[in-house]
């Protein structure tokens, strides 16, 4: 089913996973998928390595398997920055062969040494994908994309994604809902009308958060800093506080009319389980 049609019916709860590095058929990975599918998400998205080669076929295979073997709708991420037309054609063929209907079209990050740069921005990929018939989504950044110094320009680029055929958007993780609400207001003001699903990642450790801040530039509200400081040496308590924070963040987003929620599961079904249980407790 096209995700655009799911968005017409409900505010979807979706999960994100990444393909495992080892064998795709490993029992443990299929145990992960089985556990996630028991939680009945509206769809599961599968990330894609931004490298022009190596590992990209896993995304298509997994996204196909989620639909066929687990009966859950899927969305395959597809990056373009390190690809040329021929590589992209192969990616597209693999997605069609796997029966994938939904694609999150992304630029990806430049891989040093890569020489294949036919596509420079996600919009170019979206325009190229238009005749392929996928339901396309795109990424967005409530606090602005880390490379873009001007939030207004970043928003204009976002509008271009809608013009290029994106039918839904998923945000980068953020911890401060006020940033998301401001972003939505500004995006709607300039004519972005498609659904925007907030992406939520629970904090599990200080190292994880430090990594995230440097790669995506998400700001840390004082509540998060307090959690990190208080439970720095108590991993179990930190994990619990992180899940509780994510649950209250999601509760607030839902209450304020967000278009669903996208949970970055980090391939750990227990995280998704704990968050969904917490959400039930909040209702």
Catalytic residues: 16
3, 17, 139, 201: which one contacts ligand FAD (CB under 6 A)?
Answer: 139
Q: Does 64 bind ligand FAD (CB under 6 A)?
A: no
Q: How many residues bind ligand FAD (CB under 6 A)?
A: 22
CA distance 183 to 51: 30
Q: Which is nearer to ligand FAD, 32 or 45 (CB)?
A: 45
CA distance 176 to 173: 10
Give backbone dihedrals phi and psi of 44, rounded to 5 degrees, phi first: -125, 130
Kindly state the smallest distance separating residue 122's Cβ from ligand FAD, in Å: 3
Return the H-helix or E-strand segment holding 66: helix 56-70
Distance of CA 131 to the CA centre of its chain: 24
Structure tokens at 128: 């190229």
Half-sphere exposure of 63 (CA within 13 A, CB side): 29
CA distance 111 to 101: 27
Q: Which is nearer to ligand FAD, 146 or 204 (CB)?
A: 146
Q: Does 50 bind ligand FAD (CB under 6 A)?
A: yes
Judged by DSSP in three states, 264 sits in strand
Q: Per-residue string for binding with ligand FAD, 151-190, x by CB under 6 A?
A: ---x--x------------x-x------------------
> Under rule CB under 6 A, which residues in 112-131 are in contact with ligand FAD?
121-123
Q: Does 109 bind ligand FAD (CB under 6 A)?
A: yes
19, 142, 198, 199: which one contacts ligand FAD (CB under 6 A)?
Answer: 199
Pairing, β 43-46 against β 168-173: unpaired
Q: Does 110 bind ligand FAD (CB under 6 A)?
A: no
Kindly state the smallest distance separating residue 247's Cβ from ligand FAD, in Å: 20
Q: Does 83 bind ligand FAD (CB under 6 A)?
A: no
Stretch that binds ligand FAD, among 6-14, 62-70, 145-153, 249-257 (CB under 6 A): 145-153
Q: Does 106 bind ligand FAD (CB under 6 A)?
A: yes
Return the H-helix or E-strand segment holding 30: helix 27-38
Q: Does 196 bind ligand FAD (CB under 6 A)?
A: no
Q: What are all long-range contacts of 248-253, with beta carbons under 8 Å and residues at least 24 apart?
A: 248/282, 249/175, 249/177, 249/200, 250/200, 250/275, 250/279, 251/279, 251/282, 252/177, 253/177, 253/180, 253/198, 253/200
Q: Does 148 bind ligand FAD (CB under 6 A)?
A: yes
Half-sphere exposure of 115 (CA within 13 A, CB side): 0
To 10 degrees, the CA torsion angle through 160, 162, 163, 164? 90
Q: Which is nearer to ligand FAD, 157 or 268 (CB)?
A: 157
Stretch that binds ligand FAD, among 32-40, 42-50, 226-234, 266-274 (CB under 6 A): 42-50
Interacting residue ranges for ligand FAD, rule: CB under 6 A = 47-48, 50, 77, 79, 104, 106-109, 121-123, 139, 145, 147-148, 154, 157, 170, 172, 199
């Amino acid at each position: 089913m096209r995700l655009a049609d799911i968005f017409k019916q409900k505010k979807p709860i979706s999960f994100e996973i990444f393909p495992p590095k080892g064998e795709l058929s490993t029992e443990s990975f299929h145990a992960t998928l089985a556990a996630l599918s028991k939680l009945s998400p509206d769809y599961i998205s599968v990330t894609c390595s931004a490298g022009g080669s190596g590992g990209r076929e896993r995304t298509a295979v997994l996204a196909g398997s989620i639909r066929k073997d687990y009966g859950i709708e899927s969305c395959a991420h597809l990056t373009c920055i390190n690809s040329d037309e021929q590589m992209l054609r192969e990616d597209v063929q693999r997605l069609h062969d796997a029966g994938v209907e939904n694609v999150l079209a992304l630029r990806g990050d430049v891989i040093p040494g890569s020489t294949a740069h036919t596509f420079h921005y996600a919009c170019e990929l979206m325009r190229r994908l238009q005749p392929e018939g996928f339901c396309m989504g795109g990424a967005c950044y409530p606090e602005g994309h880390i490379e873009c110094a001007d939030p207004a320009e970043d928003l204009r680029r976002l509008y271009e994604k809608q013009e290029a055929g994106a039918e839904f958007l998923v945000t980068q993780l953020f911890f401060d809902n006020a940033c998301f609400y401001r972003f939505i207001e500004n995006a709607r003001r300039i004519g972005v009308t498609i659904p925007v699903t907030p992406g939520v990642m629970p904090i599990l450790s200080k190292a994880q958060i430090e990594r995230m801040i440097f790669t995506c530039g998400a700001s840390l509200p004082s509540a998060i800093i307090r959690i990190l400081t208080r439970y720095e040496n108590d991993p179990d308590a930190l994990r619990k506080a992180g899940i509780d924070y994510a649950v209250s963040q999601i509760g607030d987003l839902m209450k304020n009319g967000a278009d669903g929620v996208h949970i970055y599961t980090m391939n750990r079904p227990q995280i998704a389980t704990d968050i969904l249980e917490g959400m039930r407790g909040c209702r």
